[in-house]
Amino acid sequence: MSTRREVHVVVPDDIDDPTTPSGGNVYDRRLCEELSRSGWTVRELTVPGEPGDSLAGVLADVPGGAVALVDGLVAVAAPHAMLRESSRLRLVVLLHMPFGERDPDLRARERQVLAATTAVVTPSGWSRRWVLRHYGLRPWSVHAAPPGVDPADLTTGSEAGTRLVCVAAVTRDKGHDVLLAALAEVADLSWQLTCVGSLSKDRRVAASAQRAAVAHGIDDRVTWAGAVSREELAKVCAQADALVLASRAESWGMVVTESLARGVPVIATEVGGLPEALGSSAAGLLVPAGDVPAMAGALRRWLEDERLRNDLRLAARSRRTTLTGWPLTAARVATVLDEVSR
C-alpha cells in the first residue's frame, strides 16, 4: 500500500523548458512545489520523448498501491500503459484540457483512459462538466482545482489604451488569424500588438499568421516576441493596457487571471473556462469564438470609449482582490490525493 501523503507526479520532460512554456507546465511545476511545501513527499517522474513506451517504463517503477498523479498530455498519449497499470496503482489524471473537446477522434481514447483512473482533476468547473457530460464518469471521481495566480504589482495603463498583448503559442486553437483580421478592421485607430508565445509549436500556422499580418497591412504594428521566460513575460504584461485572446478552445486561461492580477482588462472569446477565469464580464469583453466582426467591434469599443476603458479597469482591479493563490489549488488537489490514498 502507498504511504499516505506521498505522491508520484508524472510530467512531460519539457516541464521546465523555457522554449516550450505552457499553462499546463506551469500548473505541474507549481503544484509539485506547493504539495512539497505543505508536507507531501513528491516523487517527480518525467516522461521523455513519445509517451507510449516511455510512460510504461516510468509507471512500472512505481511501487504497487502508490498514488500516481499523471499529466493528461502524457496519459492520453499512452492509453495502453495507463490501462495496464490501472489495477496496480492508484491513478489520478491531471487533465489540463479535454482533448476530445477539440478533436472528436480522440474522445474514445480519452474516455477509456479516464474511466480506468481512480480520479480526475480538471482546471475549471467548465472542463469538469464537459468531462462528466461526454464521458459518463462518476461525479464524485472528477474534481475541479482552478490554477492559482501570484500577486503582482498593479498596472496603471496608458490613457489611450493602445498597448495590446496576446499571450499564447501561435497555434490554430489560439485564433491569431481571427485576432489579426479583427485588428485589420480597426486599422484606422491607433494600437500596437505584442504577441508573446512559441512560434515553433506549429510552424505552418505561425508562418501563416505572420504572412496574414503583412497581407492585412498591419505588420509594422505587430511584434512577434516568441516564447519568453516567466520573468520577461511579467515585464511585457506590466506594460499592457489590455490582454487580447481569440482562442477557439481554453479549459481555463491562466493568462487571463495573471492579467487580472495586474488590473489589466481582458478582451477574449467566450469559450470553455475563459468566462470562469474572468469571473465577471465587467472585467473584460467576451465575444463568440471565430467571429471577426465581433472581435473587431470589441476592440473598437475599447480603443474609442474612454469611459468603457475606465470601467473595465476598475472592474479588473476589483476582480484582482478575489483571485486565489497556488496554495489553495494544491490544497484542493491534496484533498483528492488524500481520498485516493485511503
Number of domains observed in the structure of the chain: 2
Please check whether residues 282 and 189 belong to one and the same domain: yes
pLDDT tens-digit map of 130-148: 999 999 999 999 999 999 9
Say if residue 247's pLDDT is above 80.
Answer: yes
What whole-number percentage of the chain has pLDDT above 70?
97
Within a domain: 156: no
Instruction: Tell me if 284 is assigned to some domain.
Output: yes
pLDDT tens-digit readout, 168-185 = 999 999 999 999 999 999
Cα dihedral 179→204→19→53 (10° resolution): 120
Residue ranges of alpha helices (H) inside the chain are: 23-37, 51-60, 72-77, 79-85, 99-102, 107-115, 125-135, 176-184, 203-215, 230-238, 254-260, 274-278, 292-304, 306-320, 326-341
Residue 17: pLDDT over 90:
no
Q: Are residues 75 and 98 in the same domain?
A: yes
Residue 158 within any structural domain of the chain: no
pLDDT for the residue 2? 42
Identify whether residues 235 and 334 lie together within a single domain.
no
Residue 170 lies in a domain: yes
Q: Which domain holds residue 236?
A: 163-320
Q: Rounded to two decimals, what is the model's pTM?
A: 0.93
Element (H, E) at 269: strand 266-269
What's residue 1's pLDDT? 38
- pLDDT of 290 higher than 60: yes
Nearby residues of 147 by Cβ (< 8 Å), 6 or more positions away: 23, 26, 27, 30, 123, 252, 254, 257, 326, 329
